[in-house]
Amino acid sequence: MTQARKVALIGTGLMGFPMSRNLLRAGHHLTVWNRTTERAEPLAKHGATVAASAAEAVAGAEFVITMLSDGFASGALLDDREVQAALSPGAIWLDMSSAKPEHSRAQAETLKSLGFGHLDAPVSGGTRGAEDGTLAIMVGGEAAHFDAARGVFEAMGRPVHVGPSGTGQLSKLANQTIVAVTISAVAEAMLLVEQGGADPAAVRAALKGGFADSTILQQHGERMTTRNFDPGGLTKFQVKDLNNTLDEATALGLTLPATQSVRDRFQYFIDEMNGAERDHSGLYLELRARNGLPV
């Protein structure tokens, strides 16, 4: 049985809210805070304590989870003197936001200098994975901190320690590169079978279990052909992750042509088709527009 721990979770948005519910279901003592309080308040009926400030949320917590928009947001919170002063001795900060590896390394150094632990632990699996507690969790940082936090992570998904600080974020960038390029390939496949007269649902069923099968084919392929682009993974965050991937590649002296191409297409979807707040499977609409088809 997992030991109940005192956990603070900051950022109860599309991902943070269901992650909070799973932490509560696992028996952890949870305090939550969100800049927009209304997004955190419903968690009270599930057993969470809703804090009035970030500093109040982290006070007494053994583990502090941040699920925010990027490394700038989590870094600003971590650098807040009131938050630092409220941290409990030995607390470990679990940044589950998607950020640049360099941000995670800097945050780890800051916390280490103050006597606290840090793990960069971005996730994959989208809102469905967050709701089901099946997120893939890529964790960078000290092995001892990972071992201490394992029970907390396991309430939300499947954690794997991938290396030192920053490598969790590096793994997420690799994940997002695969996701983005695969979305592009699935969009082309779905458009091809639609225009050729095949039943897209039947094609997905035919491919299920084969070498071309994937979660993206089954879930996002369905989104594309049913035109359901309500956000699970926001396009604006997909572009943010691809920009981080390309920045990291440049720092390593690498050229990633497929990543660059699909990043530019997502940016077009944002700039010219108002796609920022739509699901990233909406790249299918950019493909239709590129082919002169109605969107």
Catalytic machinery residues: 172
State which H helix or E strand residue 238 sits in: helix 235-251
DSSP-derived pairing of the beta strands 117-120 and 123-124:
unpaired
Q: Which candidate, 191, 184, 177, places its Cα nearest to that of 268?
A: 184
Q: Which amino acid is at 228?
A: N
CB atoms within 10 A of CB 196: 8
Q: Which residues pair with 159 in a beta bridge?
A: 137
d(CA 18, CA 21): 5
Q: Which amino acid is at 99?
A: A
Supply the DSSP symbol for 13.
Answer: S
Give the three-class secondary structure for 183: helix
